Amino acid sequence: MPGIKGGVIANTLTSNIDIFPTVLDLVFGSEVAKNYRHPNGNPLRGKSLLPALKNSTVMVNQYTFSRYGRCQPINVIQTSACANDYRTGSCNRPLISMMGHSVKTVKDNLSCTYVGWWPFHEIRLQPPLDCAKPTWPNQPPLLFSYGVVSPQIDLKHSYTDFKQAPIQEELYCVAANSTYGGVGYPNNNNLALRPQTKQADLLISELKPAIMARYPQP
């Protein structure tokens, strides 16, 4: 890639949603990447990673986010109808009742991830689209969301109830340069379940509001 050295490891946090803005930046320039809008008029949530590719010390994202829905209680193994991504699933998928929101950041050479599980209110589209449908014979159900008809969750009116306390909280910190499962990659110590240290309390007090700001209630 012109102007970018190969083999350089950037230190910034990244997410899948950053890929498209990065491609836009490379092809059309930074102004197009910043001002691009979805067909529905909403701006892109991701950011171009080009600054970090040019300078590995640049932090493009302070936080990265993800979320995962559950139909069953937190301590129950989900059924196959529930276990797929909350935007996919089968025709018989129960309503999502709980949403796990995750936010990741880097502090003092530690990569820390907070996960909070809150009650979730899922509203189905009206009239219902019934379910996702396959676009080719024997298509795996997990890929149904890529068909013409997507599942019937109404993302505009469904919401996480942040007014209630989290059902469960998790906080994990690892060395920022650790590789998953490699030497030095710590165990799954949930710091939120231990007698909390001042550092853990400060992290949770910072990361929980970041999630709420990312997913505002209707």
What are 105's strand-pairing partners?
A: 112
Q: What is the DSSP letter of 43?
A: B
Which pLDDT belongs to residue 184?
46
Domain tally, the chain: 2
Which pLDDT belongs to residue 84?
56
Question: 91 with 32, same domain?
Answer: no
Which pLDDT belongs to residue 147?
39
Range of the domain at 140: 63-214
Residues 6+ apart with CB under 8 A from 54: 3, 4
Domain boundary among 12, 33, 61: 61
Mean pLDDT of 44-65: 90
Count Cβ neighbours within 10 Å for each residue of 34-57 and write b for 16 or more, e otherwise: eeeeeeeeeebebbbbbbbbeeee
Mean pLDDT of 129-149: 52
Tokens (6 digits) for 192: 């939120």
3-state secondary structure at position 197 = coil
Please, which pLDDT band fits residue 49 given cuts at 50, 70 and 90? very high
Q: What is the pTM of this model?
A: 0.77
Question: 28 with 79, same domain?
Answer: no
Question: 106 with 117, same domain?
Answer: yes
Which pLDDT belongs to residue 116?
94
Q: Rounded to an integer, what distance in angstroms lies between the CA atom of residue 116 and that of residue 103?
A: 9
Average pLDDT value for the chain? 78
Mean pLDDT of 156-181: 83
Please, which pLDDT band fits residue 65 given cuts at 50, 70 and 90? very high
